Structure 1
Amino acid sequence: LVRAFINLRLKPNKDLLSDLINKANGLNRADYTSASLKAIDDVMEKANAVLNNPEATKEEVETAVSALTKALAGLGANPVKQGDKTVSIKTGDETSLGMLMSLAGLSLLSFIGYVSIKRKED
């Protein structure tokens, strides 16, 4: 019993590695440069080998997670070609139309109030 206990070892949790692999597999490859995709592909081979290895150590899993995280962070986006209407660019403008309409209405009411006060004074 003691010998069996000594030979027992904890298997590392591979959930994060699996999630990262799924994220990398779900990438739209047309959006990224070939150089950054090659880096992902190289790391993915090693990460898949670790994921499918039932004897993988905790250090191997952590190394694969770190390498895949770094490769995903280093993805380079393809530049948008002039005239390409398939890619939308986020400008950062999050102002809603309702907010603008409210401000316009408030400005109009203020102007009307100012004009009516001026008429009463004259």
Structure 2
Amino acid sequence: MKKLKIDIWAGIYNIFACVVFASSWFVIFSTAFSDAANKTNATGGASAFFYAIAWIGVVLNVLALWQSHKHNISLVGGVLGTIGSLCFGISAAMAFPAIVLLIIAIVFLFLQHPRKNSAA
């Protein structure tokens, strides 16, 4: 069975996204406190970066899901990666579930087991 490069790249991107999502708590909170103290509005720009990372992850995981489907590879990694990125893309408050889902997705994206066919 051929290993798909898109699955490998999606797994690597999901590792990057986990690190970024974990740091988002500190960045968003510190920017919010700084905005409150200085009466500025920089929090929107900081959170926009994290949302962009999440939505790029959604697109990349959907592409990996589609390619896995075409090559008869298990869809679990792509599905979990898409859901994890969507969690953060919808609300940064869901960063922890997004990180957990992405870590599980990374494992399945790197394994690339053949899909079990239900129709025998």
Q: TM-score range by the shorter chain?
A: 0.3 to 0.5
Higher relative contact order by CA 8 Å / sep ≥ 6: 1 or 2? Answer: 2
Larger radius of gyration: 1
Give the structure with the higher percent helix. 2
TM-score by length of 2: 0.38
TM-score by length of 1: 0.37
